[in-house]
Amino acid sequence: MSGLVFFLHMAGAVALLLAATRMVRTGVERAYGRQLRQHLRQRIGHPLSAMLMGLVMAVALQSSTAVTLLVSSFVGLGLVSGVAGIVIVRGGELGSALVAKVLSFDLTLLAPALLTLGAVLYLRSDRRPWHEIGRCLLGIALILISLEMVSTAALPLRDSTFLPVVVRYLSGDILSCFLLAAALTYLLHSSIAAVLLLAAMAEQGVLPPGVGLVMVLGVNLGSSMIAPVLTRAAAPEQRAVPLANLLMRGLGSVVLLALYEVVQPDPALLGTGPANQIIHAHIAFNLFILLVGLPLSGVAWRISRWVADLRTPIETGPAHEEISALDPAALGNPDQALANATREAIRMCDTIDTMLSRIIEVYAAPDPQSIADLRAFDDRVDNRHNAIKLYLARITEQGMTEAQSRRCQDLLEVCIKLEQAGDVIVRNLLLHAQKKMERQVEFTPEGWKELVDFHASVMRNARLAFNLLVDDDPATAQQVIIEKDRLRDSERETRQQHFMRLRRNTEQSIETSSIHLDTVRDLKQINGLLAALAYPVLEEQGLLRGSRLKKPA
């Protein structure tokens, strides 16, 4: 087998392994995620129960990183203490190692049965729990198939003339071996996948046991780095748990690497067979860190919390410094000054446009960096609003005509509406997206389509309203108000459709009901604020009625 063919087969096997692991985790989260989170919050009173709950969650989710991120979010919300969070993560790491052991058994004959049963449940069942169980069974079957693919791809390497040279180098340079495994695990974002890959290669005689043991230590270092990187933009309380895990697990791997170099233990002590030795080394390491780390959890929390507080928050948004259009030298010329304020208001519109378009992306795939970016954009809107307000106040000190005074007041109202729209995005919509992320819930396909369509309508009307700052077109202003009325009817229809899904007892609709309804309400409020930009144009043309109330008969 040529090198290109080998890498192609190995890449395909690893990709299937990662995708299958993700399938199992997704199925468990959607079917039982809420129950797991409830049990997690309820069973943290005693260190042993907290550790066991972390172990169970890692087995269910097929990922210790997922447990770490979930626990860190609970700690950030104050639902779990920092020390309890560290204990839960310790149990999660051990649970992840035990999953690797289970998957290392020869379960080849089980794969066809799991594929058949999983496909039937996934494709035929209308009930969500059974549908997601089918997804999990398919994922487990694909994991087993991917491991067989790894073994098959690695088989020809035993006769390779190049491999002994590489192995000889790695055996003589344990630091390179250790760092290589850490980098591989970080790239895979899965310690289970990395350990199973090492075990499969060791089983085929490609990886000597001594090298394999060193790489297991590197796997644990790389795995402990994933969560701190993913939470780097989060609050200090939320970052502290991943940092504590990195401190305990990363430092432990470095210390044991030094001991390995001194003692040179016999891999046979960990069992018979190269694959078993690697799996058992992984379990033994995490059991060791658990036993040593339990009494040191308080110290680890204090250190990690101190480190998290020291870290300067990441600056978000564009790095370049923008030049304000509010030129003080133009204050003596009201027309020029009002034009400058209009240019700055248009910049506010651009920022609101960006925030409004990005918020739906945060709903679809929330992450700490996107959340931080939106908050940074809102700060920019607030700063620009304050600057324009003060600038307009200085213009009024000069002698202005009635038309100029009216334009000044209109611009002030525009800036107030834009600032309020930004507040709704950050203080309301962003909180809904964070709530969705923390609860790990998903909208129904119908509900998500309704939200996306409603958001798209608000975006279209917002851009029409923004155009009115450049061109006071009465037809455009009328279209904005017509669209506002249409969206009011659309909101009512969306709410009715959502209640119909609740009556059908759709579980996803029940889980996301408040988020769905609050999102539609807030999008409607944003549309109302931005549609107000059309009123000065319509009023000037005499196209605005004084009241929508009918005259009494």
Report whether pLDDT(547) > 60.
no
pTM attached to this predicted model: 0.53
Q: Give CATH superfamily name and number for 315-428.
A: Phosphate transport system protein phou homolog 2; domain 2 (1.20.58.220)
Report whether pLDDT(321) > 50.
no
Rounded alpha-carbon distances, angstroms, from residue 41 to 208, 239, 257, 293, 297: 43, 19, 36, 21, 19
What's the N-to-C CA distance of the chain in angstroms?
A: 92
Sign of CA dihedral 393, 395, 397, 402: negative
Query: What is the C-alpha separation between 345 and 326, in angstroms, rounded?
Result: 10
Neighbours of 218 (CB within 10 A): 26
Answer for the pair 71, 85: CB distance below 8 angstroms, yes or no.
yes
Identify which has the larger pLDDT, 49 or 378: 378
Identify which has the larger pLDDT, 50 or 158: 50
Identify which has the larger pLDDT, 509 or 389: 389
Q: What class has domain 441-547?
A: mainly alpha
Closest CA to 252 of 276, 221, 291: 221
Percent of the chain with pLDDT over 70: 83
Identify which has the larger pLDDT, 251 or 308: 251
pLDDT in the model for residue 209? 78
What the block records as the tokens of 79 is 């639902």
| Most confident segment among 14-18, 143-147, 412-416 | 412-416
Neighbours of 332 (CB within 10 A): 10
pLDDT in the model for residue 425? 92
Report whether pLDDT(3) > 70.
no
Lowest mean pLDDT segment, chosen from 58-62, 163-167, 463-467, 484-488: 163-167
Tens digit of pLDDT for each residue in 237-289?
Answer: 778 888 988 989 888 999 999 998 888 888 888 888 888 889 999 999 999 99
Burial of 299 (0-12, 13-18, 19+ CB in 10 A): middle
Alpha carbons within 13 angstroms on the beta-carbon side of residue 546 total: 2
Report whether pLDDT(161) > 70.
no
Percent of the chain with pLDDT over 90: 8
Query: What is the C-alpha separation between 6 and 286, in angstroms, rounded?
Result: 32
Burial of 9 (0-12, 13-18, 19+ CB in 10 A): middle
Report whether pLDDT(164) > 70.
no
pLDDT in the model for residue 136? 84
Tens digit of pLDDT for each residue in 445-501?
Answer: 788 888 888 898 999 999 889 888 877 788 888 888 898 888 888 888 888 887 777
pLDDT in the model for residue 312? 43
List, as one string, the DSSP characters of 448-462. HHHHHHHHHHHHHHH
Answer for the pair 436, 512: CB distance below 8 angstroms, yes or no.
yes
In this chain, the answer to whether the domains covering 315-428 and 441-547 adopt an identical fold is yes
Query: What is the C-alpha separation between 291 and 312, in angstroms, rounded?
Result: 33
Domains in the chain: boundaries: 3-310, 315-428, 441-547
Tens digit of pLDDT for each residue in 204-231?
Answer: 777 887 888 889 999 999 988 888 887 7
Cα 486-488-490 angle, rounded to 5 deg: 70
pLDDT in the model for residue 311? 54
pLDDT in the model for residue 315? 40
